[in-house]
Structure 1
């Protein structure tokens, strides 16, 4: 991990520890104030616990032009981004995506779409709906390894993170607390529950919390849709296509709408925000990932709406290309931050448990 980033984060954390004005802002500050000295692992944990709501920056009296020049959101964002790249497997892929995320996302989607177009020779000519373009067996053969690879890669990455931050044996109570904090995005509500200053220093808003929830729950609904369809296909011998009022369709459509709205609203908020308060070199990677996830959802909705038209084959290969690109790039994109954040919240729950009488 880059020593200069850790050194700057350590300097700012020590000043914040002496001031303590922002103690009630989010989970970062109780964890920060519990330490007297900060190891590299402590700083990595604090960085991944930070949700970059930026309220502490706008409240701070020691930001530039003060000689201390504090910018804790940026210092932690730099360490956080560097930790994701350091722990990623393989590291080179993570660094490349953060540098040129938009270009890599577009090229990967188009490349896989062309491969799917060529793979139509494998299609089951007697299939219904999408399976008339690409057979069910071909889809399984392609997407099952693509689904397992990011799980294995993220597993290795999180294991490295857990060791680096001094994580201990897990307890159910730690996981319950961490999942609860992640489910309601508590750390994006601000110290007083009014929201954060991500868009404007003088305006508290819950917008960023709301779009994060839309993206998270939209993704979970889409995942649930795929899972239910898999059980119906293999467990009950009920193959696709499914009707509008079927459970896979209801879950998938609602999840897709939430994802589209959440992703495009998140891009809008990022374009309005001050880049100086985040990891500037990761801007392309963040926009690339959000755009890719939004396109996966949008192409899926268009595919459903135009599935009976001549546009269906072209839409299908684009959608499948986007889904495959999303899966394979997940360990190296901003998608990984959700897993790291959950690990950081779990680690913090351990800290709270050990320090609570």
Structure 2
């Protein structure tokens, strides 16, 4: 019987030979295919996350398989520190890095319009900062040109920018972001359509997403970050960020309902539901993004793709600025600087929504789609025939 090392070596050789034939795959996609064939021979990490049981249902890995598995990976790092073939071994198996590089490929390949995806890929932080600053400056100049000076608005935001104008501006930006994300996810789904989801598959996916299950690491003790020690910090900061964002979104939705359904116009009292949700959402978002930024700086160099740091940081900075400017605006909304603060906050929020389809926000959407694919797939019998 062949040893595990011999099986893995044979898988590595086959994978390298197959790269010559499978020219349709990019260099990064070929690397994932090579690594998955080695992992298929080993299977030590089979119980770590959804990637490895999904991997075992395949003998070969085409482009759609590679994209699916890459987005199923949550980059917890557990497999890297457990792998006997990780660098400096000659096989150089680094699942987190290979998967991260392919995930970036999916963000760009499925981006719509594609030129925007390529631009953000190369200059994520620069594009984010320039867009936020440019939009904020545009709104400040527009305010001065319209009113001739900073309007004395008290706490009334609509005395600075009329409600209908804000609804139009953000409606257009939000609709564009939703359309671009929808087109991208549709293309991703059609690449390897597993069929219609059942209620149980959808329910399982919702639970996995809301609990961030796969940020618990291979043993449920958390992720690896700067070393092989397990920590739940990454999962907790993701929770702060995720639910902080949802609370801010809920605040906007409630305020919209107040305005259109009940004819209750802003400004709302500090004790009102929109302000309560927005305040706690902003504080949660600020804490989460601050923590993720620090963890990103400390991350082990073999985890993920260092070339994506600009994209990672760009999204984190926009979220952080959204929370910070929103909280400052709330605290100073009855002062003379409120109009300028409002223009800056709105510029940052518009930049955030405009870049959602091309930055790290997209990874949450694609990951959700991948988790749903896996939930559907594992409920079907495997097509592989196992011979004794």
Q: Could you tell me which runs of 5 or more consecutive residues in structure 2 were left unpaired when the two chains were aligned.
A: 1-23, 383-388
**Partner residue of 1:135?**
162
Partners of 1:41 and 1:166 within 8 A in 2: no
Shift of 1:126: 9.3
**Partner residue of 1:342?**
368
SS at match of 2:178: helix
Shift of 1:67: 1.2
**Partner residue of 2:16?**
none
Tell me the alpha carbon deviations over residues 53-112 of structure 1, each in whole angstroms, 9 at most, x when there is no partner.
111001111012211111111111111111111001011211211211111111101110
**Partner residue of 1:260?**
286
SS at match of 2:225: strand
State the 4+ residue runs in structure 1 displaced beyond 6 angstroms. Answer: 123-127
Partners of 1:45 and 1:344 within 8 A in 2: yes
Query: Which one of the candidate residues 180, 191, 194 is aligned to 1:167?
Result: 194
**Partner residue of 1:181?**
208
Query: Which one of the candidate residues 335, 343, 349 is aligned to 1:323?
Result: 349
Shift of 1:119: 2.5
Comparing 234-243 with 94-103, greater Cα deviation is found at 94-103
SS at match of 1:276: coil
Query: Which one of the candidate residues 52, 63, 72 is aligned to 2:95?
Result: 72
State how many pairs are aligned: 355
- CA RMSD of superposed structures (Å): 1.7
Partners of 2:79 and 2:218 within 8 A in 1: no
Partners of 2:35 and 2:93 within 8 A in 1: yes
**Partner residue of 1:16?**
39
Partners of 2:152 and 2:336 within 8 A in 1: no
Partners of 2:151 and 2:339 within 8 A in 1: no
SS at match of 2:226: strand
Partners of 1:44 and 1:165 within 8 A in 2: no
Q: Is 1:294 aligned to residue 317 of structure 2?
A: no
Q: Could you tell me which runs of 5 or more consecutive residues in structure 1 were left unpaired when the two chains were aligned.
A: none
Q: Report the structure number with the largest CA radius of gyration.
A: 2
Q: Distance in 2 between matches of 1:313 and 1:2?
A: 52
